[in-house]
Structure 1
Amino acid sequence: MQAHTMDTGLENWHDFEVVSRKEIIALLRGISEKKQLIRMLIHGESDVCVTSILQVDADNNAIIMDRSIDAEQNRRILAAGGVSFETTLDKIRILFAAERILECNYENGAALTMALPPTLIRLQRREYYRMSTPVSNPVRASIPLPAELGGAVTVFPLADISCGGIAIMDNKLMLGDTIGKNYPGCRIELPDVGTVTTTLQIRNSLDMTLLNNKLNRRLGCQFIDIPRPMLAHVQRYITRLERERNARIAGLS
């Protein structure tokens, strides 16, 4: 499964991949029974629509879901080359994807259907919680590019950070389509905390077209063998962002 991040990215954390069909069916039925809302993202697009699971049909290896209320959005979902889903169940983040969505009838109405996903991702560890990094004063990652990409150390702004990795904005499309590629010796300057040096692996790519027709590319990157002291820096920085966000919320209320 190639998982795409939603607020994304969804990094593809292999440690959290569920491959047991029985367990996948149980989790999806739990989401259906609790009527959990599911965010649905068409690959390569930036708008998200909300759906829910109407039925998990294990006999036919299918899931039946609500359509979007927007007819044009339904048309794009049915034409899409891939769709990602994100929801929560008992505070556990659940991510899965489909290569194809089809239309079907359910209880005398139109609905959407997809094949039962062969894998899904279940993130329940608190430290994989992701925080958006400040837009006004962006955190930056310096990535040494390999010779075939020019060989220079190039700086990219962060979109978010977790203890599992970061999402970076590659709006000049300098990293190309490099899913699965490792970039050793990357440096991330965390304000008031310190510098993190680690290997980054590109796990997913999401292209978003802005209103001015400019393309934004967001790359989800996983930390590879990050040293423990560096991870402590990341945790400290996330805690600080969380404190600042909570103070802002408290100030608004």
Structure 2
Amino acid sequence: MSNSELDNWHDYRVVSRREILALLRQIGEKNQLVRMLINGEADVCVTSILDLDPDSDTLVLDRSIDRDQHRRVLAAPRLSCETSLDKIRILFKAENPREIDYEGSVAVAADIPESLVRLQRREFYRMQMPVSNPVKLVLPLPDELGGGSATVPLADISCGGIAFMDNKLALGELAIGSTFEGCRLDLPDVGPVVTGLEIRNAQDVTLLNNKTARRFGCMFTGISRGNLANVQKYITKLERERNARLAGLG
């Protein structure tokens, strides 16, 4: 979870300090694991909340057992953290990490976040695209990829991002972290959605015809509230159609 992703979830942000402290305390008391991203998905430390001191505005996290990674944690200006509490996804930033002594051991202290994001399962559940009515993504290409644009089919969609298929392997191996601006989704019965996309992962898959394709997982970047509302509207539409099919089968 990158720092920029937090900014896309403005509708789910918690800014009450009392509520933030209560949530962080519960995460610590229940010994929930926290994924701490140091330099994106390529550098992740699994940690936990050891303590919380509102008077000194300090959040105490367990240190990495890897010394080199611990040094990278301390060198980072901020860390992106992701955990869950009672099946609710919690995202927050840990600013100003520094080393402290905690109960005789080395630990990492950070500022208590001024806000965090709390996501119910529904907000980030990915819906598979219907085969009968595929959705196309128009992806503007940079000069190094020949310029112009590529039109590719969506594989799934959520309020956090999409996955698309490069069935012809025309895009090559896009670098993880690459960002494409002005991408366009034409959602049936909803309308167009224009957003930036950041490549988060890539995976080669074998199709039914035994040909190889590449699946790219992307995160929305800089998406507006109106565009995000259209994405949610389309997901709700897919859910209704799926439930109707299931009821018909029943």
**Band the TM-score falls in, shorter-chain normalisation:** 0.5 to 0.7
| Higher RCO (C-alpha under 8 Å, 6+ residues apart) | 1
Aligned equivalents of 2:136, 2:99: Cα separation in 1: 43
1:209/1:144 Cα in 2 relative to 1: closer, same or farther (>3 Å)? closer
Q: Which one of the candidate residues 132, 138, 141 is aligned to 1:143? A: 138
Aligned to 2:122: 127
| Counterpart for residue 220 of structure 1 | 220
| 1:56-91 Cα deviation digits (max 9, x unpaired) | 110011100100111121122112243111111111
AA aligned to 2:52 is: V
> Could you tell me the TM-score, scaled by structure 1's length?
0.65
Against the structure 1 CA distance between its residues 100 and 43, is the aligned structure 2 distance closer, same or farther, given a 3 Å change threshold?
farther
> Where does structure 1 lack aligned partners over 5 or more consecutive residues?
189-193, 211-215, 244-253
Corresponding residue number in structure 2 for 1:38: 34
Distance of 1:97 and 1:60 partners within structure 2: 17
Residue 205 of structure 2 is aligned to residue 201 of structure 1? no
Contact 1:101 1:113 in 2 (8 A): yes
CA distance in 1, matches of 2:137, 2:233: 19
Larger radius of gyration: 2
Percent identical pairs in the alignment equals 38
Q: Deviations over 1:138-170 (max 9, x none)?
A: x975226499999844346768632x2424589
Paired letter, 1:89: L
1:97-132 alpha-carbon deviations (Å, 9 max, x no partner): 1343211110011000111111100112x3213349
Query: Quick one: distance in 2 between partners of 1:100 and 1:205?
Result: 25
CA RMSD of aligned residues (A): 4.1
Task: Say which is worse superposed, 68-77 or 230-239, in terms of deviation.
Answer: 230-239
Aligned to 1:248: none
- Provide closer, same or farther for how the CA distance between residues 73 and 148 of structure 1 changes in structure 2, counting only shifts above 3 A: closer
Q: How many Å apart are 1:27 and its aligned residue?
A: 0.8
**Take 2:65 and 2:241, find their aligned partners in 1: how far apart are those partners?**
40
Which residue of structure 2 aligns with residue 28 of structure 1?
24
Using the alignment, how far apart are the partners of 1:159 and 1:57 within structure 2? 44
Partner SS state of residue 96, structure 2: coil
The answer to whether the Cα contact below 8 Å between 1:38 and 1:50 also exists between their aligned partners in 2 is: yes
Letter in 1 for 2:61: M
Structure 2: any 5+ residue segments left out of the alignment?
A: 165-170, 204-215
- Given candidates 47, 54, 74, the residue that maps to 2:50 is 54
Counterpart pick for 1:166 among 143, 148, 161 = 161
- Aligned CA distance change for structure 1 residues 168 and 97 (closer, same or farther; 3 Å): farther
Q: Which amino acid aligns with 2:186?
A: R
How many residues align structurally? 214
Shift in Å at residue 19 of structure 1? 0.9
The Cα shift of 1:225 comes to 3.8
SS across alignment from 1:74: helix
Once residues 34 and 70 of structure 2 are traced to their aligned partners in structure 1, the CA distance between those partners, rounded to angstroms, is 15
In structure 2, the residue matched to 1:112 is: 108
